[in-house]
Homo-oligomer: A and B are copies of this chain.
């Protein structure tokens, strides 16, 4: 038997586009001689459809897509993920289902049982868990259909669920497992995924074909990396990361298990490629092309400019250099050099005139007050306004350049440098931004060395350095990581060796700045805990604040 897996980039709610993409893949699989082609989870409507699932109209469009796809299931069987209606009045109205289509019709449906409801996942918001498990027989082979999380409840020390769907299905003696996934990227996820797939194969001793979604959906990036694993635990093949792929495998060869092929997973390469596809898909799927950003001469905007140029092409990236009276010469020069390296359009627009007009307008009201945060923020906000004016005038969408460390502690100006439609590196700690810059320069200098080596500064007052108000980033990032990613208590972090006063100050800063993050653009997610939909915090709280 020949099994094709189709790792495709779907678009939420674009039923017609998704259908056409799948029909093309079906034809391709046929030419590859496939008996079955398997698509990913919720492929008809795209993943995650979120509250669109509450619209009956949306569900009916998904059902129609399945029907249309069924018509193409001739000489080949099609496995596809789609929402389906729960016929029972009690419980949620929908299931998250895997459809088996053959001979022009729906032959079998298996619903998902384990509904991830943590971090960025909200599946129990919409779906009723499956309570029956069956397998489907096709061309003499018995197939277990599983949806994403359904194979993730084994091999954990702390299982999230009380049942294990494959334990139910294995009693019916399947020959192999198909898994339809939409499993979002984080830089440790590809390795974790292989571990889980292997744990299944080792437990059930049958091959597993794991089909993942690829491409970005707003903040979520799906890396593909679909897996074919042999019963002996060897990775028969891992499909490429961040690209579409359709490939057909001989079940007999996979069972033999003579092949082992896994990809390298270097952290910076993964993050880099993820952010590039994250930017590209955000714009492509919105039907947009052009971006703008402010180049300060600092490392954050430099890294974002490089990512944007690689994602969209230098001709679609425009930057503004907006020096104030506090900007150093090297800032403008470094930014210019970068723009020239990238071959992107740049304009230099000093903000002093605008700043002075605010000053004179506010003089009588701010009489006898000292230069302070209001004046610093006026500069950051003047820049934000200029960028937005260009955005409105020429249609370039503003990219946000805040990093995760500064977003965490609120070291940024709301409606100033926190402006932008998409936060590109808001899930990348400052220390990782440096690593990423080095990675970008590995085949020749793109980012001027001076941008990487000079001490970080917001340049909002004379001789300012980030370390005037923040600890060194390597110290800060360690504390942030333990608190944000690992949910450690202050006591835990102090016991790891961090300074008590510093820990309490940093965690307090994180918690009191929730209001700023609430108003930030969606953040491309590359870690296991990004700001945004996967981290839901009260603003009005009093915990560690």
How far, in whole Å, are A34 and B270 apart by their CA atoms in the complex?
63
0/1 interface trace, chain A 533-545, chain B, CB 8 Å (1 if under): 1011111111111
Residues of A22-53 at the interface with B, using a CB-CB cut-off of 8 Å, are 46, 48-52
Contact at B286–A540, with CB atoms within 8 Å?
yes
Q: Choose among B52, B89, B161 the residue that contacts A537 (Cβ–Cβ < 8 A).
A: B52
How far, in whole Å, are A385 and B89 apart by their CA atoms in the complex?
52
Contacts of A537 in B (CB 8 A): 50-52
Interface membership of A249, Cβ < 8 A: no
Contact at A521–B519, with CB atoms within 8 Å?
yes
Contact at B282–A540, with CB atoms within 8 Å?
yes
Contacts of A381 in B (CB 8 A): 385, 388, 415
Residues of A349-393 at the interface with B, using a CB-CB cut-off of 8 Å, are 349, 351, 353-354, 356-358, 360-362, 365-366, 369, 372-374, 377-378, 381-382, 384-386, 388-390, 392-393
Chain B min CB distance to A192 (Å) = 19
CB within 8 Å of B: which residues of A? 11-14, 17, 46, 48-52, 54-58, 89-93, 117-118, 122, 124-125, 157-162, 216-218, 281-282, 285-286, 347, 349, 351, 353-354, 356-358, 360-362, 365-366, 369, 372-374, 377-378, 381-382, 384-386, 388-390, 392-393, 414-415, 419, 421, 487, 489-492, 515, 518-522, 533, 535-545
CB contact under 8 A between A542 and B285, given known A91-B160, A353-B360, A535-B51: yes
Q: Choose among B56, B124, B218, B366 the residue that contacts A539 (Cβ–Cβ < 8 A).
A: B218
Contacts of A373 in B (CB 8 A): 392
Q: Choose among B125, B489, B542, B543 the residue that contacts A118 (Cβ–Cβ < 8 A).
A: B125
How far, in whole Å, are A47 and B491 apart by their CA atoms in the complex?
25
Contact at B361–A374, with CB atoms within 8 Å?
no
How far, in whole Å, are A446 and B300 apart by their CA atoms in the complex?
50
CB contact under 8 A between A354 and B361, given known A125-B117, A377-B389: yes
Contacts of A347 in B (CB 8 A): 365
Q: Choose among B12, B217, B282, B285 the residue that contacts A543 (Cβ–Cβ < 8 A).
A: B12
